[in-house]
Structure formats: C-alpha cells, structure tokens
Structure 1
C-alpha cells in the first residue's frame, strides 16, 4: 500500500470509531432519559418520601440503653411482666414501669411499636427468637416499645441466640405506607 492509501484507510478507521462512539453515547442518553421518565418514585416529596407516607427509623441500636421498653403482662401469671422487665433491665435496656395488659395474649409475645422504633423493635423481636408478633402503629408518637408477654413465653434468648435470631430475621424493613427516614448524622 502506498502512503496515500494508508492515510485514507486510517481516516476510515477513525471515522468508524467516531461513529461507534456516537451511537453508544446516544444509546446511553436515551437509556438515562427512559429511566428518569419511568422512575417509580415520581410522587416523592423532599427527602424521597411519597406524599402521605410516614417516615420511620430503621436504624438498629448499637447499645441496649438506646432502647426504651415497657413490659405488659398478657397472661394470668402474676409478676411475669416484672420478671421480664428486670431481665431486660439487667441487659442494659431502659425500662418503664410494668402493668397488666387488658388483652390476654396466647403467643410468646406481641411487640408494639411506632415509626421512631422500627429498627429497635426488630432487635427486641430477636430476644424472643423471632416468635414475637410485631404490631406496628403509625399513630404511636413516642419512642417506647411495648412488649405484651403471652402465655407461650418461657425465657429471653441468650446473647448468642439473639445474634443468630437477628441473622435469621434479617434487616428491618419499612412497614407498608411508610418510607425510611434519613439516617441521623454521625450514624
């Protein structure tokens, strides 16, 4: 090949490279526009929360003293709520005064919590080896988790059992009709 032919050949190669790059760039731009148009979070408001959704805290506490508990006796066994509350207190949790529940519970326990304590309630569930029934209520405005002890309760899980139970239960998820609150600064 003569030098003139090589120069023309190199020009076509360069032209083909520019065309391929241009086609790929246009395809990428179309994909981005399509993804933005089809975004399912289109109705989100500031903070990424859909209108009408309650923001919930999914953060798992790092220390027991970050969790406030109130134990209620949902059985006919006298003093059971005091016993369980003392066990939680011995493990470092902040406990509120106990009382009897109006509703009798046949399960191991019922864990009642609100938007501020979704992550913490998941951790408390692990103390019952995942057998406690979670009851979320968007109307709860405080940061106290109520535990209603039921007739199938035998004992709280050990430290090792809690860790194993957390692995089985998995990470906390936002209840229906809610969205995840931004993590606190420094978390």
Structure 2
C-alpha cells in the first residue's frame, strides 16, 4: 500500500487534536489516548478485534487501580497512621489486587492492556486530571473515555493517509506466455 498522505503528518495532526480534547473544562488526560493508540500498533495495527480487546482490557485494568485507591482512601490507616504502617497496608492491598488482575488474564483478558489501563488510571487520579480532580470515580470515567479513543485514533491514522494499492511488479522468473512474447 502506498500512502497519499504521509502517516507521520496524519498522526501528528491527530495527536495535535488531543489538545482540544484534553484542554477543555473537563481536563481530560490526552496522554491516555496515546497509550492505547500505541497499544494498537503493539498488537499489530488497527483491526476491529484488537480494538475490542483493548476496550475490554484497559477499563478492567483501570477498575483494579480504582479498587486500590478506594481501599486506600477508606482503610489506609488500618495498620496505623505512620508512614511505614501506611506503606505496609498499601503493599498488602497492591499484592492482593495485582494478583487478582494477573489471574484475570487467565480468563483471556489482555494483561498488558490491563496494565496500561492500570497505569493510566493512577496517572489520571494522582495527576489531578478529570472533571472532578481527586474523585476516584471521575478519574475512572475520564481515563476510560480517553483510553477508548486510542484505537479510534489508530484507525484514523491509517485511514486518513488515503492508502492506495500498488500494482504488483512483474516477476523476472515468471513464465513467458504468448501475449508477453509479442
């Protein structure tokens, strides 16, 4: 396939558009689009089945991260109020929740996609992004929406190059037919 417009230009224009998506009153995390966009290409490029796998995996990973934040907010002082006690409790919570995330991969959910969603959630929540910074549920909604756009942008980045099929070159070792000999 030959591109009528260079992929580098098309992808850069699309990347620039994320400024309008993230730089609005909702304060959405534009980098979350880039993570899932890159994930599509790590899976082999835009295809519907790959997008569906990410659309299932990334929100699941973000949900596991949401559980960690909610448990920490509601029971973070269970081992005491000192920093070491809080760190020990957080270690236990991460151990349990991360183990559950990993076992979820045995159900066929894309584990790397879950980890991208997991990381996207933490960056959104702790980075103060979303329409209600500091609200764990708002962070989840915002990051899921933005991660969902990545496969769309990946698809657009290839389609908007307006690819055309090139004619296959004649092979030198192809047999000569009567029409070719004339």
Q: TM-score range by the shorter chain?
A: under 0.3
- Compare the two structures and name the one with the higher helix fraction: 2
Normalised by the length of structure 1, the TM-score is 0.26
- Compare the two structures and name the one with the higher strand fraction: 1
Greater RCO structure (CA 8 Å; 6+ sep): 2
Q: Which has the larger radius of gyration?
A: 1
